[in-house]
Amino acid sequence: MVKFSSFLSRVSTLREPSPIRYLLRSPGMFKFAGGLPNPEGFPFEKITFKLKDGTQFNIEEQDLNYAFQYSNTEGIQPLLEFIHSHQLLKHEPKYSDWDVTVTTGSQDALSKSFEMLLNSGQGDTIIVETPCYTGALAALTPLEPNIITTPIDANGIIPELLEDIIKGHYAKNPTKKIKFLYCVPTGQNPSGATLTIDRKKKIYELATRYDFLILEDDPYFYLNLEVRQQNVPLSSDVSFLSMDLDGRVLRFDSLSKVLSSGLRIGWVTGHKELVERIHLHMQTNSLHTSGLSQKTVSKLLGTVWGVKGLENHVDLIQSLYRKQRDLFVKIIDKHLSQYVTYSVPTAGMFLWMKFNNIEDSKKFIEEKTKLKRVLFVPGQAFDPLYKPGPYARASFSIETAENMEDACIALKECFEQEYRE
């Protein structure tokens, strides 16, 4: 197993379990120990959910009182059990000391993990892919790590380049340990890239050889849009977690893109020693993820739908996003083929466009496309050094065909104007 002490930040090692939360774990005791509000004072009696497919289910008073009460930091029992069996089914962790904790979306787990691993202001070394998810950069930047970037193509991180980068780092700084690699393996935000299984294996091998952790942030896991062929695994079928033998992978999952982002339900899976550190951090701020959200999800996934129901829902979501992607690609090709270059993403909700002959996409967006109400995120927002460049991120998740068409026509006019000037 990894020697975790060499990875933990000082702040994390100073965290101690809450003496009260620990006592509340003892079942069957008279309830004098905790500061639990009396549920008789809660005004809620019953919630009825009606699903779009007509299914109806209730959360009745007793369950509601439980949902609205303070609860375990790591998550309510039925949801934890569901997630545990789900992770076993999907990722089959290969060592026994793994654990999960429910978090308020993956963003919550990510920022807590960064704080767990990085000593603020000490310039701890990490590797991130470029372009990189802005939410990760926003959580990392205040900790002032030494960020090394590794480029990606349509198949994600390129292991050979990653190895050169690692070797280059250790040649210059032999004692400055690389603590982790942060990456988004499926439908990467912002590039839409999906790491192939072969590359994942090579990257995991590098992590073992050079002893760094892998932070596998996979909120687009359920949005793999590849069409399944018999006996051929999809890239997302083989996660870093599934190949981990020594607890060096911390995996972040989220229901945001598959059930609802407002529920704020995610979970982190990894070695107990790391997961426990995240609990301790939660004990000092959120205490736990919303009980109502947890109860709603555990009732829906655990009782009303079950595992098969989630699979069926994932199928629906995938066809929705596949349709949106195909529509967007068709409309871009119709109007913008001379003006933008891109690869068709096989997962997620983003299309990473290179604006041909434009050096600074931010300037172009601000000065031209915004005036026509067409907004993309300039690529530099995803660069730790905030360097200008020709790229922009477009999300195809939500717009109607009509708006896609109007926006692409407007964008074409912007290019024509820009090229004339």
3-class secondary structure, 220: coil
CB 322 to ligand PMP: min, Å: 19
CB 377 to ligand PMP: min, Å: 11
**What binding mask, one character per residue, do residues 127-156 give for ligand PMP by CB under 6 A, x or -?**
------x-x---------------------
3-class secondary structure, 358: coil
CB 189 to ligand PMP: min, Å: 4
The one segment of 71-79, 99-107, 202-210, 281-289 that binds ligand PMP by CB under 6 A? 99-107
Residue listed under structure tokens 């994600």: 156
Task: Name the nearest CA neighbour of 295 among 91, 88, 61.
Answer: 61
Indicate which single residue of 192, 219, 378, 379 sits in contact with ligand PMP (rule: CB under 6 A): 219
Task: Name the nearest CA neighbour of 212 among 253, 171, 237, 244.
Answer: 244
Count CB atoms within 10 A of the CB of residue 223. 24
254 near ligand PMP, judged by CB under 6 A: yes
216 near ligand PMP, judged by CB under 6 A: no
106 near ligand PMP, judged by CB under 6 A: yes
CA atoms of 339 and 150, how far apart (whole Å): 27
Beta carbons within 8 Å of 169's beta carbon, 6+ residues apart: 125, 148, 176, 178
Write out the binding residues for ligand PMP, residues 54-93 only, by CB under 6 A: none
192 near ligand PMP, judged by CB under 6 A: no
CA atoms of 262 and 61, how far apart (whole Å): 23
Tokens of 31: 């309830």
CB 372 to ligand PMP: min, Å: 26
CB 133 to ligand PMP: min, Å: 4
207 near ligand PMP, judged by CB under 6 A: no
Pairing between β-strand 156-157 and β-strand 146-153 as defined by DSSP bridges = antiparallel
DSSP-based helix, strand, coil % in the chain, nearest 5: 45, 15, 35
- In the complex with ligand PMP, the residue whose CB is nearer, 266 or 291, is 266
- In the complex with ligand PMP, the residue whose CB is nearer, 239 or 256, is 256
Residue 178: its H or E element: strand 178-183
CB 36 to ligand PMP: min, Å: 28
User: Are 243 and 198 spatial neighbours (Cβ–Cβ below 8 Å)?
Assistant: no
- In the complex with ligand PMP, the residue whose CB is nearer, 128 or 414, is 128
CA atoms of 253 and 88, how far apart (whole Å): 14
189 near ligand PMP, judged by CB under 6 A: yes
The one segment of 80-88, 102-110, 237-245, 320-328 that binds ligand PMP by CB under 6 A? 102-110
Number of residues this chain uses to bind ligand PMP (CB under 6 A): 13
CB 58 to ligand PMP: min, Å: 27
Task: Name the nearest CA neighbour of 128 among 234, 254, 215.
Answer: 215
CB 213 to ligand PMP: min, Å: 17
- In the complex with ligand PMP, the residue whose CB is nearer, 4 or 180, is 180
Task: Name the nearest CA neighbour of 377 among 389, 365, 367.
Answer: 365
The one segment of 51-59, 101-109, 122-130, 150-158 that binds ligand PMP by CB under 6 A? 101-109
Indicate which single residue of 13, 261, 303, 417 sits in contact with ligand PMP (rule: CB under 6 A): 261
What is the identity of the amino acid at 270?
G
Based on DSSP, count helices (H) and strands (E) in the chain, helices before strands: 14, 14
CB closest to ligand PMP, residue no: 105
260 near ligand PMP, judged by CB under 6 A: no
Task: Name the nearest CA neighbour of 257 among 297, 222, 301, 217.
Answer: 222
Which residues are at the interface with ligand PMP (CB under 6 A)?
105-107, 133, 135, 184, 189, 217, 219, 254, 256, 261, 266
